[in-house]
Structure 1
Amino acid sequence: MSRNRERAIATVDKALAEGEKMTPADMLFSYKGVLYPTTFSSPETLEALKSFEARSDDVILAGYPKTGTNWLDQILRELESADARYTEEEMKERMDAEKELELSRMKKLPSRRIIVTHLPPHLLPPSFFQGKAKILVLVRNPKDTAVSYYHFYNKMTMLPSFSSWDEYFAAFMNGKLTWGSYFDHTVEWNKHSDHENIMMISYEELQEDQVLGMKKIAAFFGFSLSEEDFSRIAKKTSFQAMKEKSYETHGKSGDILFRKGVVGSWREFFSETQNEEMDRKFEECLGGTKLVAMMKYDVYCKA
């Protein structure tokens, strides 16, 4: 394991340990009306983002928390590595440096940088949209996202836990979680979906046919891979393969980040009333958009 990887894991493990000693009031800060975890960011960092300069060959992955960004992040890195023909050690060094998320360090990284964010468009650097950098936006149906985020919230010691699913569901529906409202986030990204340098892909379509999804992503970023590359990467980045190596790659947070990796587990938590409320909210915010078909909402989210 590289030194950068060891340092990254140690940083997260330390944050988990510190979270056990923090009061709920100290765990979060508010920036422009949205909550963020103090162990992951700060108002100063979010302000500094405004002047961050994107490069024309930057690879940017955006997604609301627990929509599958850790999974797709690894897929992206494998695709980019295969295209650039990095050695495994070179890939690890680049990945570890990027995952430190320090702006000063990010500016010094050689191209091609891979940047992962949970932020909505209006909080990202204007340069992301003004140049030729390409943005891949990952979406996932709100019901499975809500359940996955619920488990994440209650297992990450640096986040205030919820006493019940019902209490959490109310917070999710009202956007009172870290990184804000799922609906506001998804609606805002959908408004940018016709931008020539933005592509949207769903967790559901990647689950159904990962190789086909990877081919779409590779075409969007201009990566050149062989059929053997796609097959190898699909096996290496299957959910089960990543879960089995999660402690090695992510330390103590690995088991939290990689839980089930399935579509449809929301049925174990939603009451009939909550299901109907979510359907109404989804229709109100996203009804008539291409995201409905992309997430296969009528297939996976109808009781």
Structure 2
Amino acid sequence: MDPQVIEKVVQEMSNFSPDMGELQGVTLLQGICDIWDTIYNFQARDGDIVVASYPKSGTTWMQEILDLIVLDGDVERSLRAPCFIKVPFLEMGHTSLEVADSMPSPRILKTHLPVQLVPPSFWEKDVKVVYVARNPKDCMVSYYYFHKMDQTMADPGNWEDFFSNFMSGKVTWGDWFDHVIGWWKAKDHHKILYIFYEDMIEVRGIPA
């Protein structure tokens, strides 16, 4: 992978403002709202694999698992590029979408979008989705500290403020409950494998 492309993706992601906007009642980063037409018109392909989740639910872990499956377990090839290049994040800027467009099939793509905001081409093509859900208590705590660490996210305030915002869906990518329920219902109509983070931990043998 061209180092200049990697740098461009990193720069574009770091330039995202922590300001928040809203689309169809869902709270999103304003930077996502600003390029929404490009995201919405992204063209899926037959054979695409999508990792979907609410933030801090085991997304990166699942991305690496799927990448290794596609590569028949070849660890050396899995180290070919950073995760955000191997598995482009649909919402994170024009360059990430350009990387996705340039990839050979089968592609692995990532999104945190709730099901109702997924670009329509993903339902028109033969696409497989792996949705990862996590216990909301653990998800909320992890998301709080992610907000404190990542400068592209809004200041979470104190824990009480963040708890209130999380429960009312006033955090980026919206309401956790709507998100997981929406994808749960969609699995009855599309090729969606619904997986729980806690089951991934159990399979790996990590003490709870």
- The bucket for the TM-score relative to the shorter chain is 0.7 to 0.9
Partner of residue 27, structure 1: 19
Q: Which sections of structure 1, spanning at least 5 residues, go unmatched?
A: 212-237, 239-261, 264-303
Comparing 198-207 and 119-128, the one that deviates more: 119-128
Q: Is the 8 A contact 1:2 1:93 kept in 2?
A: no
1:50 aligns with 2:44: no
Offset from partner CA, 1:139-198 (integer Å, 9 cap, x none): 111111111111111211222223321111111100000000000101111111223511
Comparing 193-202 and 136-145, the one that deviates more: 193-202
Q: Is the 8 A contact 1:136 1:199 kept in 2?
A: yes
Partner of residue 96, structure 1: 85
Highest RCO, 1 vs 2 (Cα 8 Å, sep ≥ 6): 2
> Compared with structure 1, are the counterparts of its residues 5 and 183 closer, same or farther at alpha carbon in structure 2 (3 Å cutoff)?
same
Partner of residue 149, structure 1: 143
2:63 to 67, 73, 89: 73
Partner of residue 130, structure 1: 124
Percent sequence identity over aligned pairs: 31
CA offset at residue 32 of structure 1? 2.5
> Compared with structure 1, are the counterparts of its residues 90 and 66 closer, same or farther at alpha carbon in structure 2 (3 Å cutoff)?
closer
The one-letter amino acid paired with 1:96 is I
The one-letter amino acid paired with 2:27 is L
CA offset at residue 106 of structure 1? 1.9
Partner of residue 298, structure 1: none
1:179 aligns with 2:184: no
Q: Is the 8 A contact 1:175 1:182 kept in 2?
A: yes
Higher helix share: 1
Partner of residue 202, structure 2: 208
Higher strand share: 2
Q: Which sections of structure 2, spanning at least 5 residues, go unmatched?
A: 91-95
Give the distance between the partners of 2:27 and 2:83, measured in 1 at CA: 30
> Compared with structure 1, are the counterparts of its residues 100 and 184 closer, same or farther at alpha carbon in structure 2 (3 Å cutoff)?
closer
1:37 aligns with 2:26: no
Larger-Rg structure: 1
Partner of residue 63, structure 1: 53
Give the distance between the partners of 1:207 and 1:2, measured in 2 at CA: 34
Give the distance between the partners of 1:9 and 1:47, measured in 2 at CA: 19
Q: Is the 8 A contact 1:2 1:92 kept in 2?
A: no
The one-letter amino acid paired with 2:36 is L
TM-score (norm 1): 0.58
